[in-house]
Amino acid sequence: MSAADGARIHVRGEELVLLPDRAAYWPARATLLVADPHFGKAATFRAAAIPVPAGTTEVTLGRLDALVSRTGARRVVFLGDFLHAHAGRAPATLRAIEGWRARNGSLEVLLVRGNHDRHAGDPPRELAIECVDAPAVEPPFALVHYPAPAAEGYAIAGHLHPAASLVGRGRQATRLPCFWFTAEYAVLPAFGEFTGVATVEPDPQDRVFVIAEDQVVEVR
Amino acid sequence: MSRLTLPDPSSATSLGRAERWFAARGWHPFPFQREVWRAYLAGESGLIHAATGTGKTYAAWWGPLLEWAAEHPDEVLDLDAPIASGPAARRNAAAPLRVLWITPLRALAADTEEALRAPLVSLGIPWTLETRTGDTSPAQRARQGRRLPTALVTTPESLSLLLSRSDAPELFADLRLVVVDEWHELLGSKRGVQVELALARLRALRPGVRTWGLSATIGNLEEAAEALLGVGERETSARIVRGVEPKEVVVDALIPPVVERFPWAGHLGTQMLPQVVAAIEEGDSAIVFTNTRSQTEIWYQAILAARPDWAGRIALHHGSLDRGRREWVEEGLRTGELRCVVATSSLDLGVDFSPVDRVLQIGSPKGVARLVQRAGRSGHRPGATSRVTCVPTNVLELIEVAAARDGIRLGAIESRPLVERPLDVLVQHVVTVALGGGFHPDELLREVRSTRAYSELRDDEWRWTLDFVTNGGEALRGYPEYSRVVVEDDGGRWVVGDAGVARRHRQSIGTIVSDAQIAVQYLRGGALGSVEESFVARLKPGDRFTFAGKPLEFVRVRDMKAWVRKAPNAKGAIPRWMGSRLPLSRALAELLRARLDEASRGIYREAEMEAVRPVLEVQRRWSHIPRVDELLVERVRSREGFHLFVFPFEGRLVHEGLAALLAYRIARLRPITFSLAANDWGIELLAPEEAPLEQAIGEGLFAPSNLLEDVPASLNATEMAKRQFREIARVSGLVFPGLPRSGKTARQLQVSSGLFFDVLQRYDPRNLLLSQAHREVLERQLESSRLGRTLERLARAKIVITTPKRTPPLAFPLLVDRARERVSSETLGERIRKMQLALERAAG
User: Residues A32-41: pLDDT tens digits?
Assistant: 999 999 999 9
pLDDT digits (tens, 9 = 90+) for B189-199: 888 999 999 99
pLDDT digits (tens, 9 = 90+) for A130-141: 999 999 999 999
| B238-251 mean pLDDT | 83
d(CA A201, nearest CA chain B) in Å:
6
pLDDT at B630 over 80: yes
**Between chains, do A173 and B484 touch, taking CB under 8 Å as contact?**
no
* B252: three-class secondary structure by DSSP: strand
Buried b / exposed e over B260-283, threshold 16 CB at 10 Å, is eebbbbeebebbbbebbeebbeee
pLDDT digits (tens, 9 = 90+) for B661-680: 999 999 999 999 999 999 89
pLDDT at B515 over 60: no
Q: Nearest 5°: CA angle at B537, between B532 and B541?
A: 120
| B86-103 mean pLDDT | 76
Q: Which residue in A185, A207, A195, A184 sits closest to A84, CA to CA?
A: A195
pLDDT at B739 over 50: no
**Beta-bridge mates of residue B239:** B46
For residues B454 and B421, is the Cβ–Cβ distance under 8 A?
yes
Q: Tell me which of B644 and B787 has the higher pLDDT.
A: B644
Query: Tell me, what's the pLDDT at B576?
Result: 62
DSSP string, B474-523: GGGTT-TT--SSEE-TTTT-EE---HHHHHHHHHHHTTSSSS-EEEEEES
d(CA B557, nearest CA chain A) in Å:
20
Query: A48 contacts in B (CB within 8 Å)?
Result: 500-501, 504, 745, 749
d(CA A85, nearest CA chain B) in Å:
7
For residues B476 and A55, is the Cβ–Cβ distance under 8 A?
no
Q: Which of A201-205, B96-100, B310-314 has the highest mean pLDDT?
A: B96-100
Query: Tell me, what's the pLDDT at B227?
Result: 95
Sign of CA dihedral B727, B731, B736, B738: positive
pLDDT at A216 over 90: yes
Query: Tell me, what's the pLDDT at B259?
Result: 64
* B128: three-class secondary structure by DSSP: coil
| B64-75 mean pLDDT | 85
For residues B61 and B351, is the Cβ–Cβ distance under 8 A?
no
Q: What is the pTM of this model?
A: 0.80
Query: Tell me, what's the pLDDT at B209?
Result: 94
Euclidean distance between the first and the last CA atom of chain B, given in angstroms as a whole number: 71
Q: Tell me which of B750 and B833 has the higher pLDDT.
A: B833
Q: At what angle do helices B753-763 and B768-776 cross, to 10 degrees?
A: 120
Q: How many CA atoms lie within 13 A of B811 on its CB side?
A: 29
**Between chains, do A213 and B829 touch, taking CB under 8 Å as contact?**
yes
What is the chain A residue with the closest CA to B642? A170
Q: How far is CA B140 from CA B133, B134, B136, B144, B530, in A?
A: 11, 12, 7, 6, 21
CA dist., res. B99 & res. B129, Å (int) = 9
Q: What is the DSSP letter of A204?
A: T
| B283-301 mean pLDDT | 87
| B817-840 mean pLDDT | 76
From the number of C-beta atoms within 10 Å of its C-beta (0-12, 13-18, 19+), residue B208 rates as middle
From the number of C-beta atoms within 10 Å of its C-beta (0-12, 13-18, 19+), residue B697 rates as middle
pLDDT digits (tens, 9 = 90+) for B675-699: 999 989 999 999 999 999 999 999 9
Query: Tell me, what's the pLDDT at B263?
Result: 54
CA dist., res. B765 & res. B675, Å (int) = 27
pLDDT at B417 over 90: no
For residues B61 and B181, is the Cβ–Cβ distance under 8 A?
no
d(CA A171, nearest CA chain B) in Å:
6
| Amino acid at residue number B727 | E
pLDDT at B217 over 90: no
**Between chains, do A167 and B822 touch, taking CB under 8 Å as contact?**
no
Q: How far is CA B589 from CA A209, B369, B647, B648, B663, in A?
A: 47, 13, 12, 9, 23
ipTM over 0.95? The verdict is: no
User: Given the DSSP bridges, would you call strands B641-647 and B630-638 parallel, antiparallel or unpaired?
Assistant: antiparallel
With bands split at pLDDT 50, 70 and 90, how would you rate the model's confidence at B741? very low
**Beta-bridge mates of residue A8:** A17
Query: Tell me, what's the pLDDT at B720?
Result: 78
CA dist., res. B223 & res. B598, Å (int) = 35
**In chain A, what is the greatest distance between 2 CA atoms, to the nearest angstrom?**
55
CA dist., res. B581 & res. B578, Å (int) = 8
**Between chains, do A53 and B479 touch, taking CB under 8 Å as contact?**
no
Query: Tell me, what's the pLDDT at B844?
Result: 29
Sign of CA dihedral B149, B155, B157, B160: positive
- Our measurement of the distance from residue A39's CA atom to the centroid of its chain's CA atoms, rounded to an integer in Å, reads 12
With bands split at pLDDT 50, 70 and 90, how would you rate the model's confidence at B81? very low
**Between chains, do B675 and A173 touch, taking CB under 8 Å as contact?**
yes
pLDDT digits (tens, 9 = 90+) for B647-657: 999 988 889 88
Which of these ranges, B9-18, B334-343, B830-839, has the smallest mean pLDDT? B9-18
CA dist., res. B688 & res. B265, Å (int) = 24
Sign of CA dihedral A16, A19, A24, A25: negative
- Contacts of B170 by beta carbon, 8 Å cutoff, 6+ apart: none
d(CA A191, nearest CA chain B) in Å:
14
Q: At what angle do helices B768-776 and B423-435 cross, to 10 degrees?
A: 130
pLDDT at B62 over 70: yes
pLDDT at A2 over 60: no
> For B476, which of A47, A51, A85 is closest by C-beta distance?
A51
For residues B752 and B623, is the Cβ–Cβ distance under 8 A?
no
Q: What percent of chain B has pLDDT over 70?
A: 84
**Between chains, do B820 and A53 touch, taking CB under 8 Å as contact?**
no
What count of CB pairs under 8 Å joins A to B?
Answer: 158
Average pLDDT, chain B: 83
Q: What is the DSSP letter of A27?
A: G
With bands split at pLDDT 50, 70 and 90, how would you rate the model's confidence at B480? low
What is the chain A residue with the closest CA to B477? A54
Query: Tell me, what's the pLDDT at B383?
Result: 59
Return the number of other C-beta atoms located less than 10 Å from residue B793's C-beta.
Answer: 17
With bands split at pLDDT 50, 70 and 90, how would you rate the model's confidence at B781? low
Query: B484 contacts in A (CB within 8 Å)?
Result: 49, 51
**Between chains, do A194 and B759 touch, taking CB under 8 Å as contact?**
yes
Query: Tell me, what's the pLDDT at B47?
Result: 96
What is the chain B residue with the closest CA to A57? B763
What is the chain B residue with the closest CA to A200? B842
With bands split at pLDDT 50, 70 and 90, how would you rate the model's confidence at B629? very high
Query: Tell me, what's the pLDDT at A87?
Result: 87
> For A170, which of B498, B688, B744 is closest by C-beta distance?
B688
Q: Which of B118-122, B487-491, B534-538 has the highest mean pLDDT?
A: B118-122
**Between chains, do A217 and B833 touch, taking CB under 8 Å as contact?**
yes
